[in-house]
Amino acid sequence: MHVVTAIPIGRGIGADSLSYFSKDPMPVGTVIRVPVRSRNMPALVLSSVSVSEEKLGVKGAGFALKKIPPQTPHRIFTGAFMDAVAISADFHACTTGAMMSALVPQAILEKPPTYAIPDTVRRNFLFEESVVQAPHDERISYYRSSIRESLARGESVLVVVPTIWHAVSLGALFARGIEHRTSVLHGGMTPKTVREEWEHIATSPEPVLVVLTGGFLSVPRSDIGTIIIENEASEHYARRERPFVDIRGATRECARAYGARLINGDTIVSAETYALLKQGDATPAVRPVLHLLSPATTRIVDMRTHDDEKGFSLLSDEVLAMAEHLANDNSTLFVLVGQRGLASTVLCRECGSVITCATCGDPLTIHEKTETVNRHMACHRCGTREAAPQKCAHCGSWNLGMFGVTTDGVVEMLNRELPATPLFRLESDHVKTHREAASVVREWTKTPGGILVGTAMALPYLPQEIPHVAVASIDALFGVPDFRIHEKIMGMLTELRLRAKGFFIIQTRAPELSLVQYAAEGNAEGFYTDELITRKDLEYPPYVVHILLGARGTANAEQGVRAQVEETFADWNPKIFSARGSGGFRALITLPAHEWPHPELLAHLRALPPIVSIAVNPRSVV
């Protein structure tokens, strides 16, 4: 009889490891199935010792160990991957098993492969991180060259992408000429297909290219020499469910463990990655393109001058005039709307000015009265709160109102003003699958005079060349509670400006914002300078680490957990406040980036009850 200690691979398991009785020894590093509460789930073996050696520990355990049935253990992970998982779990303050559940496909855990997983001695290479900040076509050209060089050296390549659509499209693009050595893995594949591709990757005698989404980082190759993170600034790399893992951080640790070269690429890379460049912690793979040129004629339209006796105007005369002549030019138009549904902005009905934050200049968002807080205005960038204004700071008018540019409103206006124009929509309320989205874009591009109205979700599906682009409004996006929202807006506007070949029009009621000017000029350098100064002043990453705790439950449970959080983390001065909208409470711990992971703090976080969620560097801290 043996005592087997294993890490359950899954979410919601409080302990990092559990112990069991087993008739047979289980090799360390293999995957077995163990009972956890009422479930039977996969687990990674940490140790296996005979009962005679562990006799004192078993007797002093204070509880009876469960038995695991006889079974065949499977080795499905490389040593380098396991090293990366352990470090990533510490950074994200989650268990090793929870981290593995985010990076290993369920299809492999449910039916582990029976073939041998190669795990040769790792090469003694030094980890190297580089950045490719350049337009799409330049990045793709550089990636192709890097992929072929790595394969020629006998090294496999991983291309990590944020969405299924990126995986499908880039997989097809990079596979040309090396189809037999290319695999694609993403969450939209059937378990059977995943297992077939997994086997092809693991058993190929030649190095391979794998294009994958984050849930497949555990690919069974030990010869990985290059890892590329494409669309590195995408918000889709951050998981929205437990464990709240940022795939980019886990990918960086994988590259470090494999001794591989890591390449971060995007048109506008994240501010954190640009900071690495400035600090010398990453090198430019190619000279960063900080002033991006576009053939499009760019115009900023101040929508305050377009309101008429009917009030709030959604589209300017310039955009309507351009749309009216599309069919004659045999061209098309894409109209970006900041958000679907109601995206409210507080405006002065007299002068059209946006009500902005006195601290940082961003548009303010109105919050209705709750049980604990009166109706007020809030800045979702710097956190400033103030009473709802009684009059406009620009003209002194008392005539204020909430307005929003929505997809419904834009489509309604286009139908009214241009009833003969073919309209298409691409937003989550109307398009549910990747196939539907691709079909909508395909039909739009084939329709002369066609207008596509869409939200940010449309961007991955759009062609690299678009005749004309109009941004109906981005003002409401400034009210999104996300400290990276400026980065997102700059990335969207820059990408659309580069794709536009005719006209690129930005409609806004805040044309004086420096971000709008930077996007219209393609001035990435100016944007980064301002963004990093602001983040340093406001204590945002990359200069600090935010650890956000959240709890929601019965009143008694919340009260008990809140008291526990206040007492346990008193040395770290947590800011505790009521959660917005969903009830419960949140606690924010901030510490210098170089101090995390902090061993004592990490131990306290891992000891919290399951009712408490933990997110490290979340996009929103409210």
Taking only the tens place, the pLDDT of each residue in 248-262 is: 999 999 999 999 999
Which of these CATH numbers, 3.40.50.300, 3.30.360.10, 3.90.850.10, 1.10.486.10, describes 297-343+405-537? Answer: 3.40.50.300
The pLDDT confidence band at residue 343, using thresholds 50, 70 and 90, is very low
Greatest distance between any 2 Cα atoms in the chain: 89
- Find residue 8's DSSP bridge partners: 43
- Is the distance from CB of 24 to CB of 44 less than 8 angstroms? no
Please give the helix or strand (H or E) that residue 299 lies within, else none. strand 297-302
Beta bridge partners of 74: 31
Examine the pLDDT at 279 and tell me if it is beyond 70.
yes
pLDDT for residue 402: 64
Pick the CATH number of 128-284 from 3.90.600.10, 3.40.50.300, 3.30.470.20, 3.30.1220.10: 3.40.50.300
Query: How far is it, in rounded angstroms, from Cα 579 to Cα 582?
Result: 6
Residues of the chain with CATH 3.30.70.100: 544-616
Residue type for position 73: P
Please give the Cα distance from 158 to 141 (Å, whole number): 16
Give the residue range(s) of CATH 3.40.1440 domains in the chain.
2-110
Cα–Cα distances in Å, from 144 out to 164, 258, 259, 325, 445? Answer: 20, 21, 21, 40, 27
- Model confidence pLDDT, tens digit, residues 515-573: 999 999 999 999 999 999 999 999 999 999 999 999 987 778 888 999 999 999 999 99
35 backbone dihedrals φ, ψ, rounded to 5°: -80, 130
Three-state DSSP at 346 gives: strand
Q: Which pLDDT belongs to residue 392?
A: 81
pTM, two decimal places: 0.88
pLDDT at residue number 172: 96
CATH code reported for the domain at 2-110 = 3.40.1440
Q: Per-residue pLDDT tens for 354-396?
A: 777 777 767 776 655 555 566 677 776 677 777 777 778 778 8
**Residues composing the chain:** 622
* Strands 39-50, 224-230: pairing kind: unpaired
Q: How confident is the model at residue 1 (pLDDT cuts 50, 70, 90)?
A: confident
Of the ranges 103-117, 135-149, 305-319, 559-573, which one carries the lowest mean pLDDT score? 305-319
- Cα separation, 5 vs 28, in Å, equals 9
CB-CB neighbours of 259 under 10 Å? 16
Which of the 8 DSSP states describes residue 523? B
Residue, of 348 and 544, whose pLDDT is higher: 544
Residue ranges of the chain that CATH labels 3.40.50.300: 128-284, 297-343+405-537
Residue 366 pLDDT: 66
Residue 291 amino acid letter? H
Res 397: pLDDT? 83
d(CA 505, CA 316): 10
Q: Which residue has the tokens 């506008």?
A: 268
Confidence class for position 497, pLDDT limits 50, 70, 90: very high
**Nearest one of 336, 351, 580, 269 to 475, comparing CA atoms:** 336
Residue 323 has pLDDT above 90, yes or no: yes
pLDDT for residue 573? 96
CATH 3.30.70.100 is the classification of domain 544-616 = yes
